[in-house]
């Protein structure tokens, strides 16, 4: 007889990581009983610093996470990692490869790594990834890093739905500024240029800085127009360790600018809005496809016969939901 999710939540709040990992599976599976417990988890969470990290495949994200976390562990912070890799569009299966870059962390009791697959656009990735973040948060992790591949809207938005968003670019992956090509230049709170042990990394840094200087005014200012946060470019190397400490300090600074400030509160509202929308979307989709309800079948039948149309019918369906 499987343990009830309520039990698991109780264990989770005491920091039981086995409970955490099981709850993540159940939440991802959209298990009804578990969904009822997720609210309690959400409310228990809210202490951790959530860091979103994105960049094109191969830019060195996972390796960077492994070094970053090593550094954060030096001052005792517990770190959770949600590492997201793409599913195969053909089979729906996936080989989740991020963890392999993080073997240095596996024996550390203060680190928790969870791999997730994107599962295509209807897989509810945002909901389940952010729920997993809550779970780690409620379990007492101080920092939670979400690594997503910077391609695909969902993946980018997830990285954005964090307190601090890192965008990673690497030398040697082509001549263009990758972040622009991937459409993720603007979402960065901090730009990271990885692999700075390589001789061509200076160019990547310069290109990026030029782009930022030219581009939209990305500096965040207070009411008096004084810049609160100027998006920096930090060079790192996971080979030599260069820049890792600086990156940690920069992350902390970014966190402080947002802690208990109007700016921070605004960001929390944005995240809340995004999550609500994604969760609603997901619940709706689930209910729609899971429904054994005759209504939907009838509606579909009518639309197919052109007796009704998708617009009127959707509106009618939505009216049944009270906002």
Partner 1 sequence: MSTLNKEDPKQLVKQLELWEDNEVNTFLNKQPEREDNFYTLGGFPVKRTYTALDTKDIPIDDIGLPGQYPFTRGPYPTMYRSRYWTMRQIAGFGTGEDTNNRFKYLISQGQTGLSTDFDMPTLMGYDSDHPMSDGEVGREGVAIDTLADMEALFDGIDLEKISVSMTINPTAWILLAMYIALAKRRGDDLNKLSGTVQADILKEYVAQKEYIYPISPSVRIVRDCITYCAENMKRYNPINISGYHISEAGSSPLHEIAFTMANATTYVEEVVKTGMDVDQFAPRLAFFFVGQADFFEEIAKFRAARRVWAKIMKNQFGAKKAESMRLRFHCQTAAASLTKPQYKVNIMRTTVQALAAVLGGAQSLHTNGMDEAFAIPTEEAMKIALRTQQVIADETNVANVIDPLGGSYFLENLTTQYENKIFEILDEVKEKGGTIKLIEEGWFQKHIADFAYETALKKQDGQKPVIGVNKYVEENEQADITTHPYDSTTADRQISRLQTVRATRDNNKIEKLLNELIEVAKDERQNIMPITIELVDAGATMGDIVEKLRTLWGTYRENPVF
Partner 2 sequence: MGLPIRVLLAKVGLDGHDRGVKVVARTLRDAGMDVIYTGLHRTPEEVVNAAVQEDVDILGISLLSGAHMTICPKIMQLLEDKDAADTIVVVGGVVPDEDVTPLKEMGVKELLLQDTPPKEIVARLEKLVEERGPR
Ligand X SMILES: Nc1nc2c(ncn2[C@@H]2O[C@H](COP(=O)(O)OP(=O)(O)O)[C@@H](O)[C@H]2O)c(=O)[nH]1
Residue 197 partner contact from ligand X, partner 2, Mg ion, none using kind-dependent CB cut-offs of 5 to 8 Å: ligand X
Q: Are strands 49-55 and 164-169 parallel, antiparallel or unpaired?
A: parallel
Burial class of 18 by CB neighbour count within 10 A (0 to 12, 13 to 18, 19+) = exposed
Structure tokens at 76: 């005792």
**φ and ψ of 131, to 5 deg:** -65, -40
CB of 104: closest distance to partner 1 in angstroms? 9
DSSP structural state of residue 140: T
Establish if 107 lies at the interface with partner 2 (CB under 8 A). Answer: yes
Distance, in Å, from the CA atom of 309 to the CA atom of 306, rounded to the nearest integer, reads 6
Site string for partner 1, 172-211 (x = CB under 8 A): ----------------------------------------
**φ and ψ of 237, to 5 deg:** -135, 125
Distance, in Å, from the CA atom of 105 to the CA atom of 303, rounded to the nearest integer, reads 54
* Closer Cβ to ligand X, 39 or 97, answer by number: 97
**φ and ψ of 79, to 5 deg:** -125, 130
**Choice from 58, 92, 215, 227 touching ligand X (CB under 6 A):** 58
Contact region with partner 1 (CB under 8 A), list: 14-22, 97-105, 179-187, 303-311: 97-105
Binding site for ligand X (CB under 6 A): 55, 57-63, 98, 101, 194-195, 197-198, 237-239
Binding site for partner 1 (CB under 8 A): 95, 97, 100-101, 103
Contacts with partner 2 by CB under 8 A lie at 2, 17-18, 21-22, 24-25, 28-30, 87-88, 90-97, 99-100, 103, 106-107, 112-115, 117, 119, 286, 290
């Amino acid at each position: 007889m499987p343990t009830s999710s309520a039990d698991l939540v109780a264990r989770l709040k005491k920091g039981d990581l086995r409970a955490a990992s099981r709850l993540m599976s159940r939440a991802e599976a959209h298990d009804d009983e578990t969904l009822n417990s997720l609210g309690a988890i959400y409310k228990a969470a809210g202490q951790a610093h959530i860091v979103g990290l994105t960049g094109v495949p191969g830019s060195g994200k996972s390796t960077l996470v492994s070094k970053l976390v090593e550094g954060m562990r030096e001052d005792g912070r517990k770190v959770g990692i949600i590492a997201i890799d793409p599913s195969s569009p053909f089979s729906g299966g996936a080989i989740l490869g991020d963890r392999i870059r993080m073997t240095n962390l596996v024996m550390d009791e203060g680190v928790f790594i969870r791999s997730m697959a994107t599962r295509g656009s209807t897989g509810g990735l945002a909901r389940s990834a952010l729920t997993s973040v809550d779970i780690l948060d409620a379990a007492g992790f101080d920092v939670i890093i979400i690594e997503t591949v910077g391609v695909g809207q969902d993946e980018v938005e997830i990285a954005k739905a964090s307190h601090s968003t890192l965008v990673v670019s690497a030398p040697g992956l082509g001549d263009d500024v990758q972040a622009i090509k991937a459409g993720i230049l603007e979402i960065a709170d901090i730009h990271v240029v990885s692999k700075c042990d390589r001789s061509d990394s200076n160019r990547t840094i310069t290109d990026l800085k030029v782009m930022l200087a030219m581009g939209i005014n990305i500096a965040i200012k207070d009411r008096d127009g004084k810049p609160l946060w100027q998006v920096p470019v930090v060079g790192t190397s996971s080979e030599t360790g260069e820049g890792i400490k600086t990156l940690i300090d920069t992350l902390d600074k970014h966190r402080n600018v947002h802690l208990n400030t109007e700016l921070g509160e605004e960001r929390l509202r944005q995240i809340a809005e995004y999550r609500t929308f994604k969760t609603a979307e997901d619940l709706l989709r689930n209910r729609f496809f899971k429904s054994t309800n005759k209504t939907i079948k009838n509606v579909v039948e009518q639309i197919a016969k052109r007796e009704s149309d998708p617009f009127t019918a959707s509106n009618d369906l939505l009216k049944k939901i009270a906002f």
